[in-house]
Amino acid sequence: MKQSKLFYQLLPFIVMAIPWTYLAFIWNELPQSIPTHFGISGEPDKFGPKNEIIIAPLIFTVAGILTYFILHNIHKIDPKKKYTATTSSILSKISVAIIILFCAVSLFLCYWTLKGKTAGLPLLFCTLSLFLAYIGNLMHSIKPNYFAGFRVPWALENEGNWRKTHQLASKIWFTGGIVLAIASLLLPLKVLVIVFIISVSVMTLVPVFYSYNMYRTSTKTN
């Protein structure tokens, strides 16, 4: 039990080391002048010195460390002290998922730099979609708090509203994430980008309007 807990605590830092390991592995294959920006066509339109490749992994590593420590200690600054063990556990899982996502993006950026073009974009969209599905799978268990979930005022002030909103959001995000993951592997890239943006917007807005509608209905009844 202690070993599994230790592994889970070390997992985020192991994941954050993966892009650096890959970068060390490909370092000698990189040219002295590397692509630093890619156009809409996927071809590089700006170049810079080889050392600039470390910028993206460095940014995502710092962001990952901050995410880990913020989400693991955020209960300490909760003004109402409502954090439960379940919520803390969920935030811990979310932090690991975010770090894995950061790792995936860093790996893709390093790979694109090595190949000189944005190859494998559908796989990146698939990764993002699975991330959304995973968050959706956790969402129904999040209790009212000021830092995670749909923190609209009318949900924060009513536990029933919060619970129903996040039960709906959980279903929408999990289903939507799985559908988008499949679509990422089937649709043409230009169509996929439009579908992805519209879908994520709908997945975000529907729970908000649902929550607000519950609030309006309850105030009219009262």
Ranked by mean pLDDT, the top range of 15-19, 29-33, 51-55, 115-119 is 15-19
Q: Which residues contact 70 (CB under 8 A, 6 or more apart)?
A: 95
Residue 82 confidence (pLDDT): 62
Residue 73 confidence (pLDDT): 76
Average pLDDT over residues 185-196: 88
Reported as a single tens digit per residue, the pLDDT across 36-85 is 666 666 666 667 777 878 888 898 889 988 888 887 777 676 666 666 66
Amino acid identity of residue 116, one-letter, is G
Cα–Cα dist 59/62, whole Å: 5
Q: Which sequence spans correspond to the domains of the chain? A: 1-118, 120-222
pTM, rounded to two decimals: 0.81
